Amino acid sequence: MRSLLFVPADSEKKRTKALDTQADGIILDLEDSVAASAKADARADTAAFLSSGDRNGKAIVVRVNPLDGDYCEADVTAIIPARPDYLMLPKATPEGVQDLSDVMAAHETKAGMDVGAIGVLTVSTETPAALFAMDGYVHAPDRLAGLSWGAEDLAAELGATSNRRADGTYTDIFRLARSLTLAAARAAGVLAIDGVYTDFRNEDGLRAELADAVRDGFDAKLAIHPAQVPVINEALTPSADEIAHAKAIVDAFDAAPDAGVLSLDGKMLDRPHLLQARRVLMRTSQP
């Protein structure tokens, strides 16, 4: 997956529009996008939509409410039998992912599903304490499929007046949260998903942030508006030249499986270059 588009779970109009975008996945949001008084109806509508089978080839994620709140248990109970592809856990911790996985397993079994059939994605940096627990994701259950991060809730928890400098770049504490998410995802062997770019009318700013994400190694990015999706997909899809170069590296090492270092086009390459090339080719296989 390259692009994951947030959609309020209680908006049929926006859900229908999201299905017609180029997003690889849509996130039906039962948390921040839905008022407390509307959560029960949104939950029921989401389950009905999932059961209808009309997914247009997209991965469907449901962001449930926080595990320690009043709504998560009801979310999981209603949504698991409708078989989304993933649940997204906000305000996540490694321990929270394990607890959610245990609850999901019971509901999967009750619904006649294989345990682990539904994956888990996270928003992993929404509290200060979460930043000190990122290494724990390496021990997360197998259903963990990706880690993302969020700046807005973290800013509120920290008392920050803004999470960005005047030039639009993140301040240091938020850069740290982003970097920890990328490192934790790589350590756990799951997707690294960059956070949202909230100024959805600023395409140049989004492109600049995507350039950073690609440079650093993120696999995907969250979107909050349909207009962001094609920009994200373009940035996270390797060019023909990048694909050809990556394939040449993989082919060179395949032809010399015992080589630790080899030369290609006048440059010395070693195993880290091979790993990077394989990641480029993996990105070409994303939907």
Known binding-site residue numbers: 63, 126, 153
Annotated binding site for substrate: 63, 126
The two tokens of residue 70 are: 């009043």
Phi-psi region of 193 (alpha: psi -120 to 50; beta: other; left: phi over 0): beta
Strand partners, 270: 261
Rounded distance between C-alpha atoms, residue 37 and residue 55, angstroms: 27
Contacts of 139-142 with CB under 8 Å at 24 or more apart are 139/94, 140/94, 140/97, 140/98, 140/101, 140/188, 141/97, 141/98, 141/101, 141/116, 142/116
Under 8 Å between Cβ of 114 and 104:
no
Rounded distance between C-alpha atoms, residue 67 and residue 201, angstroms: 33
Strand partners, 7: 28
Name the helix (H) or strand (E) containing 135: none
Please tell me what DSSP assigns to residue 239. P
Rounded distance between C-alpha atoms, residue 26 and residue 287, angstroms: 13
Annotated binding site for Mg(2+): 126, 153
End-to-end CA distance of the chain: 6
